[in-house]
Structure 1
């Protein structure tokens, strides 16, 4: 009945709250519910489970505000990689939704992300507190702990003003904590030990760039919550050595994920983990002092291993991968990056023993060639993702075998593979017709022939990148536009592509949301006109170094593409301040415009200073 509120008159708060919990999680849905009436606003606040806080003028005050409004929060994510120099230079808005976010509206031109390591003394945190009044402090963590006693996930990314005192308050009040991310925080051993003592349900711990920690803290944590810990990440912690990993191997028997990036970890530590953590499923290592001995132990004891990533290993040989292939039958993902002493024998061992392999990345392993990848193609029919980066010794016949044997391949990434050409791409296109993602960069033997075959056979392709492939021209894009419905397209640096190719894309790919056509010297306004007509969902476009487009084509594009959020257009000589003003005034959703500073009028700068970015501040 018109004018009669059936829902609020009949449904109790508890039932409406339960309905809110069943929402699809979209911000727009929660926004709509919270705006119905004050009652729904209050109930919707009770349904909030996640809070995200970016850089803020006074994070302690924000935390206090959130604690008062959202009493049932379980997950808190705080990221201070974008520091604030003054509270009067920033404006912030609280964005409603299932994930509560505090984000900045504008930023001064001098504010920039800081990834510098914190200071080397925890006590100095207190001495410099007045110099950093706008970083989260121990007082803010204490408020957080008092207000969110049922906290399960806490992420403190680069909160460099937080010390062991604040972390100890979290540990003592939030006994249900399951996930803790301390990346870039200069907390000490006392705080970590308190977590081990109080948080007996802790499962996931990230200690990347926690330079204040030593073996003492991690050993105490391992003893305290070793029975629950399942994931551990360590990077750039100079005072954490094999002693810590020995404790992890002894106490954390349920550990499933380990990520190590350290020059101070040696064989002894990895050996301890391999022997003590037989449930290990994910292992990522960038440890220059680890050798065959440690990886042989992984191959011997870690029979459940599913993901192995090895970065910059120069002290182990094929023996290690042969051991992995012989024992780790469940291996599904393998990444080998800059492993100079591995050869085809390693991939052959993996292919023979790990038939369930689904993802493979070979990056800069100069002794791996064609025969190794051929073995993968013959023995791993479930391969779905393949990345070959800087693999100069891998030739066409390797991809012939992949095309014949890996019918489920969905993603292929080729970078600087000088011996791979059109015939190889044709084989992939004809054999792997479920391909959804194809990225090719600087593979100069690949041209129209291979890409035309992709357009004719890979009807599910949605993501295509052909960066600096100077043999690819309009004919290739015409075939793609006729055969595929792309959402993402990058043809940066393909100088043979002009209006005809982009017009075909505009007419054949109405769901396109991302387009990079930078450094296309033959692209003109006609292509922009067609893109405006055919791609109304376009959100991001890169037009930089396109020397023939003008304000006219740009105006038509932004008039039709009303969802546009970012536009890069530096070094476009025929785009003037009028064109920049047109973009800013026509696109209500625009968030970033990259342009030369001298092309921005004072009026445009006043109107949209927060979304303007300049390639060179003094140009």
Structure 2
């Protein structure tokens, strides 16, 4: 007791300066109004026993989150089952609901059960299904899609190696609103399967792609069925790629039967298919709306004499690998193509220059010209094309043995003197042009 009293009596009393010193040494912290609001809201949440959740997010944020979900994710089809609000949000989903597109690639891992559930959940919204590159897609998968999504308009099956005519039979039975079908690189698809499709859904079919189909050997039947049952057809591709074999399976393409009733065709690819003289003449007469023609290794110079009026609406012409096409044949094709804007003549070895000059004279709107790998194209003809063409902006003369820096310099000087737009000339592989000057403007 005595010791405690002695300590109290001997203890130094506190002065006011001590308090001010302590206050001045402490760091001063400033608080904003937003900090106070956050503290207040967090304290109120703690008092009520609640915490923030995904339900507090607005619909726009939920839609933004759902856009990054893949159909292979279980969250994608489980989300609309949470509540009525989430279901309404999923129906407005811009990536899979509003755009109505389901795209499953070869790298996506998705079970058949999940795929079936996905089809049922979005059956009323799906209009496009893309299985491109999926070699494990079978006729059973196509049966699920066709039977569930009756309003499907676009079906892409490129590279589906297990697809047969049975799957196309299901498509013909259920998808009566189909507008676009792609069965390229499907080796088991034959003419009979395509015939079933066009006889059932041909009235609405607008695009049909059948490139590199090994089973397409009876082209006469295909051409006739398309012309009779597909009056709205605008896009047709029946091409063959040389990498799959030297001899194309579709050795004869009867354009007379095809073009008789398909008057709305705008895009056509008949590469590596043999065509008769009368076929091309009928195509010219019966397809006045043709805008893009792709015909690799098709024409011969002596097979174009029957052309009369030309393709008046043609804007893009690709004649790559027409080795037997000379200047006379080229002039017959482009003589009556006033709207032509792009001309591709890659590896047309017999061209010398006269046909190019006539092309520039007939096609005043030409903007792009590719004559790469035309080894012996005349230098004077190329110079005339580069200087006299008013609309030309791109010219590819790669691997030409005649063109020289003098030609390029003359083209540049003449265009500047006439105040015309510069032309980009690609001269890669030309032996007279150095590597540092492979591009001229």
Contact 2:334 2:362 in 1 (8 A): yes
The 1:494/1:313 distance shift into structure 2, 3 A limit, reads same
SS at match of 1:382: coil
Q: Which residue of 2 aligns with 1:519?
A: 399
Residue from 360, 368, 380 that aligns with 2:262: 380
Contact 1:484 1:509 in 2 (8 A): no
SS at match of 1:347: helix
Q: What is the distance in 2 between the residues matched to 1:467 and 1:399? A: 21
Q: What is the distance in 1 between the residues matched to 2:163 and 2:427? A: 46
Does residue 232 of structure 1 match 2:102?
yes
Matches within 5 A, 1:410-559: 410-417=291-298, 420-425=299-304, 430-485=309-364, 486-532=366-412, 533-534=414-415, 536-538=420-422, 540-549=424-433
Q: Which residue of 2 aligns with 1:317?
A: 190
SS at match of 1:515: strand
Does residue 281 of structure 1 match 2:143?
no
Contact 1:423 1:450 in 2 (8 A): yes
Give me the CA root mean square deviation: 3.2
Q: What is the distance in 2 between the residues matched to 1:181 and 1:363? A: 36
Q: What is the distance in 2 between the residues matched to 1:433 and 1:394? A: 21
The 1:195/1:506 distance shift into structure 2, 3 A limit, reads farther
Does residue 360 of structure 1 match 2:232?
no
Following TM superposition, by how much is the alpha carbon of 1:229 offset from its aligned partner in structure 2, in angstroms?
6.3
User: Once structures 1 and 2 are overlaid, which stretch shifts more, 449-458 or 275-284?
Assistant: 449-458
Contact 1:470 1:495 in 2 (8 A): yes
The runs of at least 4 consecutive aligned structure 1 residues that moved more than 4 Å come to 167-173, 193-199, 423-429
Query: Which of structures 1 and 2 has the bigger CA Rg?
Result: 2
SS at match of 1:360: strand
Question: What are structure 1's unaligned runs of at least 5 residues?
Answer: 1-166, 206-224, 550-571, 588-619
Contact 1:416 1:441 in 2 (8 A): yes
Q: Which residue of 2 aligns with 1:148?
A: none
Following TM superposition, by how much is the alpha carbon of 1:498 offset from its aligned partner in structure 2, in angstroms?
2.3
SS at match of 2:131: strand
SS at match of 1:337: coil
Q: Work out the number of aligned pairs and report it.
A: 364
Q: Which residue of 2 aligns with 1:174?
A: 61
Does residue 253 of structure 1 match 2:130?
no
Alignment deviations for residues 409-455 of structure 1 (CA, whole Å, 9 cap, x no partner):
111112233xx213555656733222111111111121111211234
Q: What is the distance in 2 between the residues matched to 1:524 and 1:397? A: 41
Following TM superposition, by how much is the alpha carbon of 1:242 offset from its aligned partner in structure 2, in angstroms?
4.0
Contact 2:347 2:373 in 1 (8 A): yes
The 1:466/1:179 distance shift into structure 2, 3 A limit, reads farther
Q: What is the distance in 2 between the residues matched to 1:484 and 1:341? A: 39
The 1:172/1:434 distance shift into structure 2, 3 A limit, reads closer
Q: Which residue of 2 aligns with 1:189?
A: 73
Contact 2:72 2:110 in 1 (8 A): no
Matches within 5 A, 1:59-458: 174-177=61-64, 180=67, 189-193=73-77, 198=86, 199-200=89-90, 201-205=92-96, 230-237=100-107, 239-251=109-121, 252-261=123-132, 262-286=134-158, 287-328=160-201, 329-342=203-216, 343-344=218-219, 345-364=221-240, 366-391=248-273, 393-417=274-298, 420-425=299-304, 430-458=309-337
Contact 1:518 1:543 in 2 (8 A): yes
Following TM superposition, by how much is the alpha carbon of 1:338 offset from its aligned partner in structure 2, in angstroms?
1.5
Contact 2:154 2:178 in 1 (8 A): yes
Alignment deviations for residues 467-509 of structure 1 (CA, whole Å, 9 cap, x no partner):
0101112101110121113111100011231222222322332
Q: What is the distance in 1 between the residues matched to 2:114 and 2:388? A: 57
Contact 2:66 2:76 in 1 (8 A): no
SS at match of 1:272: helix
Alignment deviations for residues 227-259 of structure 1 (CA, whole Å, 9 cap, x no partner):
x56111111135325434433443323321111
Q: What is the distance in 1 between the residues matched to 2:174 and 2:64? A: 30
Q: What is the distance in 2 between the residues matched to 1:427 and 1:526? A: 40
